[in-house]
Amino acid sequence: MSRLDATSLLSPSPTPPHKPTTPRRLICVVSSTLAALGAALSLLLLVVHSAPAPNYGSLFLSLASNDTAALHLRALTLHPHVAGTRANSLTAAYVRDAFSSLSIPAHITPYSVLLSYPIERSLSLTVPGRATTTSFALSQETYPNDPYASATAEVMRTFYAYAASGSVSAEAVYANYGREEDFAYLASRGIDVAGKVAVARYGRIHCEDIVHNARVAGAAAAVVYTDPLQYGGAPGEAWFPDSRWLPPTGVQVGSLFRGVGDPTTPLWASSEGCERVSVEEAMATDDMPGIPALPVSARDAAEIHAALGGDAAPVDWQGREGSPVYRLGPGPAILNLTYTGNDTMATIENVFAVIEGAEEPDRSQQRNGSYDRGWRPRRTIIFCSWDAEEYGLTGSTEWVEENREMLSSRAVAYLNVDVSVVGPVQDPDNSSQTVYDSWVKSNISPLIGRLGDGGSDFSAFVQHVGPGYPVYHSLYDDFVWMEKFGDPGFRRHAAVLSLQHDERHFLFAAASIWGMMALKLADEEILPFNYMSYPVELEAYTKVVENEVRGTVISCSPLHNAIRALKKATTKVNGERKELLRQLSSNQLRKDSMKIRTLNDRLMQAERAFTNREGLFKQEWFKHLVYGPSEQNDWESASYPGVDNAIVSARKDNTTESWKFVQHEIHRVARAITQASVVVVQH
């Protein structure tokens, strides 16, 4: 994709359910909550700026406020607000009202979706020969002088959304990170997981994939914990609130749904009166965990490990220095796990705010109210706050499914704020250099990565905070942690930072970087998309595929041929873009020229050519054939994901037909690349 931002042009993009007077085709869409509030204030000041046309980029950078980010974060984290609850509805209203207070039209769009809440859960440990049973409290302890202590009673009990209800009493087996290769290792050692309780730790893949792999291996239930190796710091080091590390009773909760959106409306939107599958049918799909599962703390897991027998686990399966030896089992530890969930329909609420644009810049001053006094973007900017992100990207997915055709023809870009750097923004940790300087010195490409890269959501600026985010999705993921350890003084929020809190997708970014990207996309006459790096990256991905299929009859020639054609096409369109920019700068070309409109249309549509309505092999909802989530780990990106899925299947089946299907997937990708070449150069 174009190397301006970390996004796909077909990523979820919001717009109001009613139709405002927006430009016919071009929409610049940005997603966040607190980031949007801060940036929107700065953008509003540009809107009402009455001075002669200034350098709006410089003016914008001067308007960012750390205090605004801190103010909204404090307000939004005073109480827990899980999706579908009254508290979350109040949160949505707060965000809407905050936008409205800036004179930016804002509204809420609700959807009825299947969510999941805990009713009852328990976990106990018994060991043959021991007279006593250890019953785990399954609670996270507060700390002295916790300013949020009064809200602790409102916190939902630790659980996994969509976990199957049931009771299991069986021997425990240690499964390391719960990856496919971890269960394969256990099988190679003759350790049968069938009917057992798999005990795994976070650290490599997310909970939904851990529990899925446990079920596939035959486990009757799963327990997942946060190991001090990743989340507890060095031996003897303090934990929150005295340091950034997760306390021993901390528990990371999450969702076990491996799909996206509302489970009762697969592939279509949860609009009013729509077709739905039943809750029972939705819960019976392969995307659901199918077994009971619970998240537990490091303290509880330590007791389980102490009771496990069998051979010692491999070195890379062990805990941090000084920890007891981890053993594989099975048994003699027996875990008695009970979980009863309430899988029910509930209302979620997306929030949207719109700064309307004008397709022709000479019309941008002809609106009423404060909008007719100063700057107005060439293209519409839409801010959004997605609800129920943690349940399965539910809010964004439902809106996109409801507006798919409109987005295909009108959306220019979608900005996710996790990683995005444009312009000379001062590094808050080193006043002698810009964020860009720090970015490059960190051995990261100076180009902003594309959405979906493994770890790209946090890769650049997590390095300012430190490796990992140890209190993620726990009781301690709050304002105090951010204020003390994440970003004291909220200086980094004026550069860029991402944070997820509770069940509404709160992605922070500072107005500076994130807003500058929005300004470029919304205001430049020619879209700032550069596809020149695409062929180079595709060649690199193709070499990976060649290594994967070495020794088979599979040929990657179709990919190489298609990439060569794309390289010629991108070179041609880049030259055309430079020439039009030259003509614009020398006043040889009007800003409303059809040449500009035609080029922008091609730049906008090029990325769409990489999509396919049939979707990825084994992941039909995902349509992009070049980038997408890995089928083995949906929090990790794969290049040519359909080809990758086909190779994994062929290795398991090892039949002529399965390898023939790999070749078919390669041809599918090659056709998409060829189509992109045609789109980008056609007139």
The CATH number of 116-138+155-344 is 3.50.30.30
Could you tell me which of 301, 355, 350, 477 has the C-alpha nearest to residue 93? Answer: 350
Strand partners, 113: 346
pTM recorded for the entire structure: 0.84
HSE-up of 508 (CA within 13 Å, CB side)? 29
Query: Which fold is adopted by the domain 56-112+375-521?
Result: Aminopeptidase (3.40.630)
Note the pLDDT of residue 296: 98
HSE-up of 653 (CA within 13 Å, CB side)? 14
Q: What Cα–Cα distance (Å) separates residue 664 from each residue in 96, 318, 555, 636, 677?
A: 48, 42, 10, 24, 20
Tokens 């077709």 belong to residue: 275
Q: pLDDT under 70 in the chain at which residues?
A: 1-66, 69, 359-375, 416-431, 433-468, 487, 489-513, 634-635, 683
Q: Residue 35 carries which side chain, given as an amino acid letter?
A: A
Q: How far is CA 292 from the centre of its chain?
A: 25
Please tell me the distance from the alpha carbon of residue 269 to that of residue 257, in angstroms, as a whole number: 17
Q: Residue 609 carries which side chain, given as an amino acid letter?
A: A
Give kind and range of the element (H or E) at residue 88: helix 86-100
| CA angle, 667 then 672 then 678, to 5° | 125
The segment(s) of the chain belonging to CATH 3.50.30.30 are 116-138+155-344
Please tell me the distance from the alpha carbon of residue 6 to that of residue 415, in angstroms, as a whole number: 7
DSSP string, 26-70: -EEEEE-SHHHHHHHHHHHHHHT--SS---HHHHHHTT--HHHHH
Please tell me the distance from the alpha carbon of residue 362 to that of residue 378, in angstroms, as a whole number: 9
531-583 pLDDT, tens digit per residue, is 998 999 999 999 999 999 999 999 999 999 999 999 999 999 999 999 999 99
Q: Are the C-beta atoms of residues 635 and 36 closer than 8 Å to each other? A: no
Which value, to the nearest 10 degrees, does the dihedral of the CA atoms of residues 36, 39, 44, 47 take? -120
Please tell me the distance from the alpha carbon of residue 496 to that of residue 128, in angstroms, as a whole number: 54
Alpha-carbon Rg of the chain, whole angstroms? 26
Please tell me the distance from the alpha carbon of residue 576 to that of residue 101, in angstroms, as a whole number: 43
End-to-end CA distance of the chain: 20
Give kind and range of the element (H or E) at residue 349: strand 334-355
Note the pLDDT of residue 190: 97
Note the pLDDT of residue 522: 85
Q: Are the C-beta atoms of residues 631 and 648 closer than 8 Å to each other? A: yes
Q: Residue 483 carries which side chain, given as an amino acid letter?
A: E
The segment(s) of the chain belonging to CATH 1.20.930.40 are 529-574+605-680
Query: Which fold is adopted by the domain 529-574+605-680?
Result: Transcription Elongation Factor S-II; Chain A (1.20.930)
Active-site positions?
A: 389
Please tell me the distance from the alpha carbon of residue 318 to that of residue 325, in angstroms, as a whole number: 7
Please tell me the distance from the alpha carbon of residue 475 to that of residue 139, in angstroms, as a whole number: 10
Any residues with CB less than 8 A from the CB of 586 and at least 6 apart, and which? none
634-659 pLDDT, tens digit per residue, is 667 788 999 999 999 999 999 999 99
